[in-house]
Amino acid sequence: MAVPTPAAGGPATHDLDIQSVRKRYGAFAAVDDLSFSVRRGSFFSILGPSGCGKTTLLRMVAGFIAPDAGDIVIKGASMRGVAPNRRPVNMVFQHLALFPMMSVGENIAYGLERRGIKGAAAKAKVTDMLRRVGLPGSEGKRIDQLSGGQKQRVAIARSLVLEPALLLLDEPLGALDLKLREHMKVELKQLQAEVGTTFVYITHDQSEALVMSDQVAVMNHGRFEQLGTPQQLYYQPQTAFVAGFVGNNNRFEGTIESRNGEQVLLRTAGGMALWSQRVGTLDVGQPATVFIRPEAIEIGRSPRELPEGAPAWSAGVQSVLFDGGNSTVQVLEDRNQTPLHIALPLTGRLADLKHGETVHFAYQPAQAWCFAA
């Protein structure tokens, strides 16, 4: 599948240009001929499942691994043969490497000292950085007096204080509990906007990528499936992988029965006829998959509650997953026994659905996509 490449950039507007970069381990391509650019001052995320090559790519940017082919250009300068400590980048890891025997202030000042910045100048930078990461006045604290989230902030402060052109972050929130992660992702985005440093952030958590990023690249098997804004990935997925990986989605398998302009009709084995948007080439008779978001489906206890004229199907309620405004119901569609997640109306109207009840559902074809299987 062709990957839309961002508009050609240059050192004037882009801090990072990856040019046809490859890395193989034996016959296995961990990073497979990747090319992309990261705009200066942006929050760029690389989102993909475990093993897709995210860390390998980031370590090549940092200089810990050399590419087999291609070039990495930072601020217009090729990094070929440039040692990690000579690159204008800094990396924050999932399992941060803070010095436990040093105070917070000493941890942050460590890199500055190695660059010859000492005394009052270093102190002022440390104070400023701690304020920016929401830990003002914590210079004297010991590392073991900090919570997980606070430690992560110190790790980020320690990297940012060196004023890198690029901050590379490898799943920095991965070790934190869910609640703290939710909080930190909002903070990290605010911090990035405030300091204006270009962030390249890797994660396998789609919610992190959607919330924080200006641009997200969805990576799979060493390649990018799609690069775009969070909204583009969510509302206009270009591949079945992206539709399945970004956000929740329901999927129906079947065969294309007919086509009308950009819409196609998929017939499932159980006989459901589903209209949806065609993505890529798709011809009558081809096996295909339709994706429909939980929130694009309307649900009611009777077909009369659904929009008039829309085709509707029936399903049996399996369970209601109550989660306030994100509540969903799991149902089993009657014809194919396809399991579906459907968002519940925010009014709470159907929050009392019970296992075994019959419901009816419908959706808008404009909010469903069909890809070749």
Interface residues toward ligand ATP, by CB under 6 A: 25, 30, 48, 50-56, 204
Region binding Mg ion by CB under 5 A among candidate stretches 49-57, 122-130, 270-278, 332-340: 49-57
53 is in the binding site of which of ligand ATP, Mg ion, none (Cβ under 5 to 8 A by kind)?
ligand ATP
Q: What's the min distance (Å) between Cβ of 16 and ligand ATP? A: 17
Q: Which is nearer to Mg ion, 46 or 243 (CB)?
A: 46
Would you count residue 203 as binding Mg ion (CB under 5 A)?
no
Query: What tokens does 277 get?
Result: 């948007």
d(CA 281, CA 290): 14
Q: Which is nearer to ligand ATP, 7 or 25 (CB)?
A: 25
Q: What's the min distance (Å) between Cβ of 152 and ligand ATP? A: 17
For tokens 């993505």, the residue is 279
Region binding Mg ion by CB under 5 A among candidate stretches 47-55, 125-133, 158-166, 193-201: 47-55
Q: Which is nearer to ligand ATP, 12 or 27 (CB)?
A: 27
Q: Which is nearer to ligand ATP, 30 or 299 (CB)?
A: 30
- Sign of the dihedral defined by the CA atoms of residues 167, 169, 172, 178, in that order: positive
Q: What's the min distance (Å) between Cβ of 50 and ligand ATP? A: 3
Q: Which is nearer to ligand ATP, 55 or 192 (CB)?
A: 55
Cα 271 to Cα 132, 156, 302, 332, 337, distances in angstroms: 58, 54, 21, 15, 12
Q: Which is nearer to ligand ATP, 203 or 328 (CB)?
A: 203
d(CA 252, CA 235): 18
Burial of 26 (0-12, 13-18, 19+ CB in 10 A): exposed
Question: What single-letter DSSP state applies at residue 61?
Answer: H
Query: What tokens does 134 get?
Result: 């929401």
Q: What's the min distance (Å) between Cβ of 35 and ligand ATP? A: 18
Q: What's the min distance (Å) between Cβ of 219 and Mg ion? A: 11
Q: Are strands 89-92 and 43-47 parallel, antiparallel or unpaired?
A: unpaired
d(CA 9, CA 23): 23
198 is in the binding site of which of ligand ATP, Mg ion, none (Cβ under 5 to 8 A by kind)?
none
Q: Which is nearer to Mg ion, 55 or 213 (CB)?
A: 55
Q: Which is nearer to Mg ion, 64 or 99 (CB)?
A: 64
14 is in the binding site of which of Mg ion, ligand ATP, none (Cβ under 5 to 8 A by kind)?
none
Would you count residue 45 as binding Mg ion (CB under 5 A)?
no
Residues in the interface with Mg ion (CB under 5 A) total 1
Q: What's the min distance (Å) between Cβ of 204 and Mg ion? A: 8
Q: What's the min distance (Å) between Cβ of 70 and Mg ion? A: 20
Would you count residue 55 as binding Mg ion (CB under 5 A)?
yes
The contacts found for 331-336 with CB under 8 angstroms, 24 or more apart, are 331/359, 331/361, 333/270, 333/272, 335/268, 335/270, 335/271, 335/272, 336/252, 336/268, 336/269, 336/270, 336/272
SS3 209: helix
Q: What's the min distance (Å) between Cβ of 36 and ligand ATP? A: 16
**DSSP letter string, 124-191:** HHHHHHHHHTT-TT-TT-BGGGS-HHHHHHHHHHHHHTT--SEEEEESTTTTS-HHHHHHHHHHHHHH
Q: How far does the chain reach from its first CA to its final CA, in angstroms?
A: 13
Residues that bind Mg ion (CB under 5 A): 55
